[in-house]
Amino acid sequence: MTTIIDGNEIGDRIRADVGDCVGTLADAGVTPGLATVLMSDDGASETYVSMKRRACEEIGIESYHHEIDADAPADRLFDRVEELNEDPSVHGILVQMPVPDHVDARRILRSIDPMKDVDGFHPENVGRMVAGDARYKPCTPHGIQKLLAAADVDTEGKDAVVVGRSDIVGKPMANLLVQKAPGGNATTTVCHSRTTDLAAKTRAADIVIAAAGVPEMIDGSMLSEGVVVVDVGVNRVDADTEKGYELVGDVDFESAKQKASAITPVPGGVGPLTIAMLMYNTTKAAGLQSGVDVELP
């Protein structure tokens, strides 16, 4: 029987544990603060920011939200980030991506104080992660590690295939999987748009992590019996629904679950873990910046 991995349940447990750490900080007179900055008219981005703010409120993290017109000069965004860098009540800064074309996204990520970079995308934090000394692991890959551990999936010695090479998921996920640490020690292959015979690579894997952003690109014919499938994709496709669309992953769920020993659904799989790990990183940042020891799970 295939196990459907419930990301909502796992995420709730992590958030509860992080909430206890927020309480420890509160006892020391510290309230973790997360600033979100939105420079977009994209409805999906607005939804993601709202979900993050709601998660903050549920566990006692102060949420500071800033909106900048999408057609405003790029300097307005850089100036706002600099103000937040200097604000001692803000321990974490998140600039919601994507930003408009006239804004250099890489420059924005570099402008965030590395101590407040709770997404883990600043070059300093990326370097620390690669060196095995992560300050803040990127939220989605770290969340996947937590999800696999909660589902009793051992990565050690396993053949893992990561489909997708983005800076946000694919690259850091592959790096964490190969590290000599819990949740790592896997033999890891990264596949992408130039990979030849993708199906041969995925059929040889014990663990497949799909993060390419292509709706249902991986189906059951591309998988081996007993594989563990983690679907990171969240894609809107036209559908005869009230909203006119439905959300699907990068994996054809129905055919894949016929082969998989365990699989994450979309929605309700990886997404809740991404938000939980953002709360985790923000709480860790507050502890580091205030000098208060917190024992995060």
Catalytic residue positions? 52, 96, 119
Query: Rounded to an integer, what distance in angstroms lies between the CA atom of residue 26 and that of residue 261?
Result: 42
Is residue 191 within 8 Å of 161, Cβ to Cβ? yes
Query: Residue 5: which of 275, 250, 156, 230 has the closest Cα?
Result: 230
Query: Rounded to an integer, what distance in angstroms lies between the CA atom of residue 1 and that of residue 96?
Result: 39
Query: Rounded to an integer, what distance in angstroms lies between the CA atom of residue 11 and that of residue 93?
Result: 21
Place of tokens 């500071």: 64
Token pair of 68, please? 């900048």
Is residue 68 within 8 Å of 37, Cβ to Cβ? yes
Q: What is the DSSP string of 180-232?
A: SSTT---EEEEE-TT-S-HHHHHHT-SEEEE-S--TT-B-GGGS-TT-EEEE-
Query: Rounded to an integer, what distance in angstroms lies between the CA atom of residue 221 and that of residue 206?
Result: 15
- Please give the biggest Cα pair distance in the chain: 56
Residues across the chain? 297
Is residue 164 within 8 Å of 210, Cβ to Cβ? yes
Token pair of 226, please? 């007993």
Query: Rounded to an integer, what distance in angstroms lies between the CA atom of residue 197 and that of residue 104?
Result: 35
